[in-house]
């Protein structure tokens, strides 16, 4: 009975954390958009901008302008990070993120891996692994290859892919999957639904 309760608690906490990690960035984006919209309304008032539409349509136009301004601001901030000073600040930010919020740091690396925007970002490789010498296989991400030939793998929990365990395994216990990280994460977060999509390239290669 205690084991069932412990498993239920672990499932609840991991699932709640997964939802929180999704909601926090969305909430921050919502707050940023609110301030951008408020600024756009104030600019329209100060400049005397008078759109010849209804109040509803005017609000939509101003909202789109605020959204465009927010996207451009993010773009220019990202552009600034490509300079020498920006790179130093980003490196400092990364170290603080890894120290105090390692889960968010991993999420950031996952996003950067999915969009493929930086070559120096850690290249996570989807794989099947065999743990504890069993015949069963688990899905994992290869995090790093060690000098002695072994690999560090991250085995995610289901459906919270950002939570899991680290294992050090010999390469003989690891089978690489020829699939994008995004397809791998989709299968993990959907309780295995769509896992067959990860093997399409292998079937195409065999045929």
Positions of E strands within 66-137: 125-129
pTM of the model: 0.46
- Alpha-carbon distance values, 156 to 17, 42, 116, 140, 189 (Å): 13, 46, 21, 7, 9
Residue 82, both tokens: 């490509």
**Where do the domains of the chain lie, and which CATH numbers do they carry?**
1-92 (no CATH), 102-199 (2.30.30)
Indicate the burial class of 170 (C-beta count within 10 angstroms; 0-12, 13-18, 19 or more).
exposed
Mean pLDDT by 10 residues, the chain (207 residues): 68 66 75 83 76 75 83 81 72 64 60 53 77 81 88 84 83 86 81 80 57
* Amino acid 120: pLDDT: 43
β-bridge pairing 138-145 and 151-156 = antiparallel
Looking at residue 184, its pLDDT comes to: 83
Contacting residues for 144 by C-beta, under 8 A, at least 6 apart: 122, 151, 152
Positive/negative CA dihedral, 165, 170, 171, 172: negative
């Amino acid at each position: 009975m205690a084991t069932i309760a412990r498993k239920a608690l672990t499932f609840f906490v991991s699932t709640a954390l997964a939802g929180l990690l999704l909601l926090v960035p969305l909430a921050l984006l919502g707050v940023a958009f609110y301030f951008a919209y408020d600024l756009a309304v104030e600019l329209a008032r100060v400049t005397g901008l008078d759109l010849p539409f209804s109040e509803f349509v005017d609000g939509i136009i101003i909202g789109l302008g605020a959204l465009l301004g927010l996207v451009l601001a993010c773009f220019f901030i990202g552009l600034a990070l490509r300079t020498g000073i920006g790179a130093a600040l980003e490196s400092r930010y990364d170290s603080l993120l890894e120290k105090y919020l390692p889960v968010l740091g991993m999420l950031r690396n996952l996003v950067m891996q999915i969009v493929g925007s930086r070559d120096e970002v850690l290249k996570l490789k989807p794989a099947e692994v065999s743990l504890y010498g069993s015949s069963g296989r688990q899905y994992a991400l290869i995090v790093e290859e060690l000098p002695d030939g072994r690999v560090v793998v991250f085995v995610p929990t289901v459906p919270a892919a950002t939570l899991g365990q680290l294992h050090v395994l010999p390469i003989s216990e690891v089978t690489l999957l020829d699939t994008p990280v995004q397809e791998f994460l989709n299968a993990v977060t959907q309780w295995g639904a769509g896992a067959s999509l990860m093997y399409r390239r292998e079937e195409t290669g065999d045929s």
